[in-house]
Amino acid sequence: MNLDQNPYPSEAQRQAQNTIVIGTITALTIGVAAIYALLSNSVSQLWSILPILLVSLLAIWLSRIGKHMIGSILLISVVALQGIIAPLIESGLGISSAIG
């Protein structure tokens, strides 16, 4: 290492690394849930799992190419949308269960 090089990563590098870590943990967790849903014949539950899995993989890829902010925003948005939409679509749950 030269004396001119900074031994500490920049803020953008740390944010990209954090996005990769969060995307990886999310992809692994949701991937295991997807495999379990397939093995237990709960294929109807995959609609709520696959969007988050795909966007977490997309967030990892976007972080690798330097677009970690877009990846983070997409991941947060999809998780939030799934959290709002899933109770509304599930059969047997009313709007009151979805809101509070």
What are the pLDDT tens digits along the chain (100 aa)?
555 666 667 888 888 899 999 999 999 999 999 999 889 988 877 888 899 999 999 999 999 998 999 999 999 999 999 888 877 776 665 555 555 5
Tell me what pLDDT residue 75 has.
93
Sequence letter at residue 34: A
For the chain, the structural domain boundaries read 12-99
Q: What is the pLDDT of residue 69?
A: 93
The string of DSSP codes covering 14-37 is HHHHHHHHHHHHHHHHHHHHHHHH
pLDDT of residue 41: 87
| pTM to 2 decimal places | 0.77
Look at residue 93 in the predicted model and tell me its pLDDT.
56
Q: What are phi and psi of 48, to 5 degrees?
A: -90, -10
Q: Which two tokens stand for residue 32?
A: 């295991």
